[in-house]
Structure formats: C-alpha cells, structure tokens
Amino acid sequence: MAIGNLAQLDVVKADSEIREMAESLEQLRSGLYTKAKFADAITSGNFEYEYRPQSRKDTLGIALLGMRESLLKAQEVDNERKEQDAIQKWISEGRATFADIMRNEANDSSKLLNNFISNVVNYLNANQGGIFLLTDDENDVPYLELSASYAYNRQRFIKKRIELGDGIIGTCATEKETLYLRKVPEDYVEIRSGLGTANPKTILLVPMKLENEVFGVIELASFNEFKNEQIEFVEIIAESLSTTLLNIKMNKKTKEYLRVSEHQAEKLRMQEDMLLRRMDEMQLKQEITERRETEATNLLESISKIRIKAEFSLDGNLLTANSLFIDAFEYSLIEIEQRHYSMFLKDIDLPVWEQHWRTVMDGKPIDTESQFITKSGKHWLKVALTPVYDNRNEIEKIQFVAADIDRLRTIITEQTELLSEIKKVLVYISFDAKGVILEGMENFNIPKDKLANEISIFNLISDESATMLSKQWSNILKGEAFRSVDVFSSSKDTMNWYKGEYRAIKINGVVEKVVYVGIEVSDIVDFSVTPDLQWYLNLYSIK
C-alpha cells in the first residue's frame, strides 16, 4: 500500500490485536480502491458513477464528490456556451444568407419578398409562410396585402386584403408586437403535405417595423414549436427587411424625384431656349415693326399726297382731312370739322354705312364704293375704312382713304350701256365642259317646263351641226377656237341660223366654261332652196 498497490490483503489468523490491525488495513485499502475507481470514472467523463463516502469524516471521498460537482457544473457551462455559440453561428449564418438575398434582389421587391419568405420557411424548418405589406388604397386608407407566400393553401387568401386590427394579422400590425400562438384555431389554416392536410401546431406573427413604423407582418406556420432563438432571428431579419423595403421605397422616390427634376430641368431649358428664341423673334419683330411703321408713315405721307384721306372719331365725327379731301368735297376744313360722316351720304346709303362702321369697330377693315354728296353735287369714291389702334391695342379712330373713281364709274356706265346694246345684236351662250348650257337660255323660246332641266347645246342645234361640233369639242376644250354656222332649234317649228365662234375659258389651266358668241343670219338664208350644210359653210367662209 505504501507504494500504491491496492491489491486485496490476506487476513491471517492471529491473535485478536494483529487481526484487528489487518482488518483495519484491509478496510483502508478497500476505501482507497473504491475512491480510485470513482476517480477513474470522473476522468473518463462518467459523472453518473455511483459513489458514497465511507463516512462523514471521509475527507478524500467528500473531496472527490466536490470535484465531480465542479466538473459537472463546468461541463454544463461549456455545453451552454457551445449551445449559445451554435445559436449565434446559426443566427449569423442566417443573417448573412438573408443579407445576400436582400442585397441581390434590392431592385425587385417582388423577387425579394418571394425569395425571402421561402428561405425563412426552410431555414426555420417551418411549413408555411406569408408576407403582408402595409399599403394604401385609392382613398388613402391603409390595409395589409398578401405580397408573397410559400406553401399556402391558395383558397385561404383569395381575399388578399386585411384591414388593420382585423384578425391576428391585423392585430399584430396594430400592436406592433410579436404574436406566438401555441393553440391555433381549427379553421385558421391547413398545411398540405404528401400525407394529406393538417392544422399547424404553432403560428408565429412578427411585425416588420423600423423605429416604431410598421411596414407589414410576417406569418409563419409550423408543426413544431418555435424556439426563442428562432423567434429572435425572425424579428432581426424582419427589421432588416423593413430597412431594405424602406431603401427600395426611398430609391424609387429618389429616382422619381430625379426623373421629375431632370424633366423639369429639361422643361426649364426648353422654356429658356424658347424664351431666348422669342426674345430674338420679338427683337426681330420690333425691328420689322419699326421698319414697317417707318414705311407706313412714309406711305401715309405719300397717300396723303395722292389719295383722299381723313380721320374720324369712333362716333363718326371728322377729326382731320387732307387737301384732296377738302377739294373733292368742296368744303373748307372749318365747315366740316367734327361733322358726322352722314352729311356726305344719301339717305338710302346710310344703313349700309352704319353696318360698315360697326364692322370696322369690330376690327375688320372695309372696302366699298359709294356716291358721296359734295357741296355742289355728287362724286363716286372707292373707300377703304381701317381701324387705327393705340398703344393699348384699342381702336382709337377710323381712317378714311379714298380714290376718285367718278370718271371710271362714268366710263363703266357707258360701257355697260354699250354692252347692252351689243347684246341686243349678238348671241352669248356659255356651257360647261360637257356642253350643258349655263347661261344664255333667254336667247331661245324654250318652254318654261323645260327650263328646270339641264339642256345641252347638242340638243339645240341641228344633227349636222351637232355632229361637226362633237368632232371639234375636244379641240375646243384644249383651247382652240372653232367657228361655225349652226342651225338652232328650240322647237320643231322654230329654226334659227347663227354664225359664231366657240372658245374655252380657262382659269389656272382648267376649263371654267365654253362660250359661244354669234350673230343671227336667219334673214339672209333662203330656206326655199334648202341647200346642204357644206354650201352654207362655204358661203360664210367657215373653216
């Protein structure tokens, strides 16, 4: 025993004193051996090894029991540390995974939400999950909308809108606190699997919030209990998701603000360019206006020298008049100043001139011809009435500019009378391009019931004349003159002979009408002989 050998001792038969000593040594050896076995068990990690001290005074045995308790506590602490390390590692790895998801899908909120919820369900070994985002309707009323889901029974969320405070999802958003249900209502949700459908055991609802502002709710359903660290993890990543969604929202707003700013900047640039162009145009217009004003002034001065000119107030009273006006009307300026224009007009012309005056007062110039009353008689003038504007673009007076057409009107009257006399001798007829008579029907005694119908020249002349005219019609339309002697017949009993010429009248190269000017020669034609048409053509030298 002195050298550590604890093998069992043989107790020899001896007297009682020696035997007692031997038994005591054996008892000591046995105790030490039991302690050694206990120490070996502790060393090997078998803290369940059963050991009892030999007595309350067994100092070594009690010390060994104390050592076992200390080692048990150290192991528990180590296990807890390892467990916490494993939890922290699990949380850290999860946060890194979801950080990658949120970073990679930061530009597409739909993909972000769908990838997020599917990974949450898988990472927590849950069965179902959904994300309800807080949004506003067209009336700016906030509500929760199912924006992403994983493994949900589609029939449950046909209605994707949930009002705030409605149900546990609405309550979670309103109270802004995590809700963990261990007793799930039977009809709340079903989880479908290959074995059929079943109700979940637990429901976890975590608000997505950031600085007390709620962005939505994450809902998870599982057949298993959610651990505290799992709930804490969901709360952490829910806050991270809220931050990402806020960044996406802010980025969208920033892009929109940037787009609006760029649009406004471009609009301002365009407006500036337009303003500069308008300023250039205004300057050019001002230069043109000044030049035109100068030209107008020079023109008015020239007109004053060669045209009858006067100015009237808006009421029609004479303000100023040049010498040609004074000469034409044979009054002095003193006699007619501030007199109304009606003193120069016949009563029959006053209603027309009153209408002219109203038209000019509306800003529209008038050109007209009138016979005016002078001091000694009457005089024809061609008049232009023009409004004159002030700096406020308001009409301040009426300008009267006239040309003396008294002699011209006399010539026109004489020519009209002469033309009337000529028309009594000549026949004038006009047709359209097809030969339908437009004017000149009064030259023939056509019954009134036929005048309402279109009458062709080819129906008024003899068949022989119509045949020859038909052959020449295309040439006439091209601009060639055609002379002929024709027999005009307005009825079976009436036949008249005319010698004349057909000619097309064109405007801008287009035939406006065809005219015929001729003279009746019936009084020199002998109808008793009834010569053929060619004879008459030769007689009148028609080619």
Q: Do 4 and 113 belong to one domain?
A: no
Whether 243 and 111 map to the same domain: the answer is yes
Residue 204 included in any domain:
yes
**Encoded amino acid at 323, one letter:** S
Query: Residue 530's pLDDT is what?
Result: 43
Residues 48, 142: one domain? no
Q: Is residue 284 part of a domain?
A: no
Q: Do residue 56 and residue 164 come from a single domain?
A: no
Do 241 and 125 lie in a common domain?
A: yes
Q: Is residue 514 part of a domain?
A: yes
Is there a domain that residue 185 lies in? Answer: yes
330, 313 in Cβ contact below 8 A? no
Q: Are residues 217 and 322 in the same domain?
A: no
CA of residue 380 relative to chain centroid, distance: 62
Last residue of a domain, one of 88, 104, 120: 104
The answer to whether residue 16 sits within a structural domain is: yes
Same domain, 110 and 250: yes
Tell me: do 499 and 515 sit in the same domain.
yes
At residue 105, the pLDDT reads 82
Q: Are residue 154 and residue 250 in the same domain, yes or no? A: yes
Q: In which residue are the tokens 């365009």 written?
A: 270
Looking at 59, 84, 104, which one is the last position of a domain? Answer: 104
Task: Please write down the HEC assignment for all residues of 297-314.
Answer: HHHHHHHHHHCEEEEECC
98 plus 112 within the same structural domain: no
Range of the domain at 434: 419-539
In a domain, 275, yes or no: no
Q: What are phi and psi of 493, to 5 degrees?
A: -100, -5
Q: What is the CATH number of the domain that holds 183?
A: 3.30.450.40
Domain presence at residue 414:
no
Quote the crossing angle between the two packed helices 59-104 and 16-43, to the nearest 10°. 0
Residues 427 and 535 in one domain: yes
| Residue pointed to by tokens 């109700």 | 199
Work out how many domains the chain is built from and give that number.
4
pLDDT for the residue 110: 86
Look at residues 126, 128, 144, 147 and name the one whose alpha carbon lies nearest to residue 136.
144
> What is the model's pLDDT at position 302?
63
CATH number at residue 449: 3.30.450.20
123 shares its domain with 249: yes
Has residue 129 been placed in a domain? yes
∠ at Cα 310 (308, 313), nearest 5°? 160
pLDDT < 50 positions in the chain: 1-2, 5-6, 9, 154-158, 192-196, 527-543
Query: What local confidence, expressed as pLDDT, does residue 187 receive?
Result: 67
Query: Quick one: which of 333, 324, 290, 308 has its CA closest to 399?
Result: 308
Domain end point (choices 83, 104, 125): 104
E-strand ranges in 118-190 read 128-136, 142-150, 161-163, 179-181
Q: Residue 290: its pLDDT value, please? A: 81
Check residue 158 and give its pLDDT. 46
Give the pLDDT of residue 194: 40
